[in-house]
Amino acid sequence: MVKKTSKTIFSCQACGYQTPKWMGKCPDCGEWQSFVEEIRSGKPGQRGRRVLSASQPKPVPIDAVELEPEDRLLTGIREFDRVLGGGLVSGTLVLIGGDPGIGKSTLMIQVLHGIAENGRKVLYVSGEESVRQMRMRSQRLSALSSDLLVVSENDMESILQMAESVKPDVMVIDSIQTMYSPELTSAPGSVTQVRESAMQLMLMAKKTGTPIFLVGHVTKDGAIAGPRLLEHMVDTVLYFEGDRNHVFRILRAVKNRFGSTNEIGVFEMNENGLNEVANPSISFRTP
Ligand SMILES: Nc1ncnc2c1ncn2[C@@H]1O[C@H](COP(=O)(O)OP(=O)(O)O)[C@@H](O)[C@H]1O
Ligand SMILES: [Mg+2]
């Protein structure tokens, strides 16, 4: 008798516990709504017979790994480059967190424009705004460039296909909370969707070497998956902070695999966008 092999498996996204049936709560780690359906391709017996393909990585002696001098991409916004640790390292995933309305989208448009001005092709994916709204903002910030491509999209499958055909040098996802994978049943913004979208983008960044910025809203409401969930997945975490009623904004690195976390960047927000404050001690001095 041939034993029936189940092709569907549910994995807890918090601890990795696997079960053939969906569960609301993980019996191992206690996490709620953490199970995601995963389809196994092929029968288990066939998996062992896979032929090694040329594209598969092969282990190499550690002292034979070639080290090229790190090629960092400059955005042209010095304060930003400095907080990154001296520009953008290829294949990095950078999370930009901050309160809604603090200026994350403004910063991202200005950063992408700076990169596009250096002759690179950049892609801005917004799940929150139409391409017309993006153009209007870009115009107000004097950040129009034909190398800055914009698209309004929430579907991760379509975004990954798009990235594959456009092959941008740098990509922005604004915001990670609005993205969703159609094969997952949970709503955009849920822990499972946010984590899955970030995971797919991370794999893409590592595979293609494209640096990707993820914009994430910090929310006090625990029901919406906040950027803190993503901190361990990304290479760099920058928080954009300030008082919405005042002009000063501070960009702070709280995690950086490619630089120090002691750096901060200071900006001033006005209707033309963010301007660097190169010498904050003068600006902050009381008259
Ligand atoms: N038309 C405008 N004129 C001047 N300032 C604006 C205009 N629209 C937005 N802003 C400024 O930009 C801020 C919103 O920035 P945004 O980049 O959209 O924030 P986030 O992406 O973090 O939600 C507003 O708080 C306001 O200060
Ligand atoms: Mg925004």
Output the pLDDT for position 219: 67
- The bound ligand whose nearest atom lies closest to the alpha carbon of 137 is 1
pLDDT for residue 132 is more than 90: yes
Helix (H) or strand (E) holding 137: helix 131-140
Average pLDDT, stretch 9-28? 82
Choosing from 106, 136, 274 the residue with most ligand 1 atoms within 8 A of its CB, the one to mutate for a pocket test is: 106
User: pLDDT digits over 73-115, tens only?
Assistant: 999 899 999 999 999 999 999 999 998 899 999 999 999 999 9
Check residue 7 and give its pLDDT.
Answer: 67
Q: Does a structural domain hold residue 60? A: no
CA–CA separation, 162 and 150 (whole Å) = 11
Residue 144 within any structural domain of the chain: yes
Whether residue 27 sits in one domain with residue 98: no
Total of domains in the chain: 2
**173-to-24, 152, 178, 184, 211 alpha-carbon distances in Å:** 30, 10, 9, 19, 11
The percent of residues in the chain predicted with pLDDT above 70, rounded, is 84
- Structure confidence at residue 178 (pLDDT): 94
- Does the beta carbon of 244 lie inside 6 Å of ligand 1? yes
pLDDT of residue 225: 55
Q: Which residue has the higher pLDDT, 280 or 8?
A: 8
Domain identity same for 225 and 262: yes
Phi then psi for 275, rounded to 5 degrees?
-115, 140
Residue 269 in any domain: the answer is yes
Taking residues 226-239, what's their average pLDDT?
A: 83
Q: Are residues 129 and 27 in the same domain?
A: no
Under a CB-based contact definition with an 8 Å cutoff, are residues 211 and 92 in contact?
yes
- Residue nearest atom 16 of ligand 1, based on CA coordinates: 103
Residues 195 and 228: beta-carbon distance below 8 Å: no
Q: What angle do CA 71, 58, 43 make, to 5 degrees?
A: 120
pLDDT at 2 (0 to 100): 47
CATH number of the domain where residue 78 is located: 3.40.50.300
139 C-beta closer than 6 A to ligand 1: no
pTM of the model: 0.80
Quick one: pLDDT at residue 30? 86
Statement to judge: residues 140 and 214 lie in one domain: yes
29 & 161 share domain? no
- For residue 193, give the amino acid letter: Q
Q: Which residues, by Cβ under 5 Å, contact ligand 2, an ion?
A: 105
- Does residue 228 form part of some domain? yes
Asked if the structure places residue 49 within a domain, the reply is no
Shared domain for 150 and 231, answered yes or no, is yes
| Parent domain of 266 | 72-284
Pocket test for ligand 1, best of 95, 271, 275 (most atoms within 8 A of CB): 271
Whether residues 30 and 76 fall in one domain: no
- Please indicate, yes or no, if residue 85 is contained in any of the structural domains: yes
Mean pLDDT of 32-61: 67
Q: Are residues 210 and 130 in the same domain?
A: yes
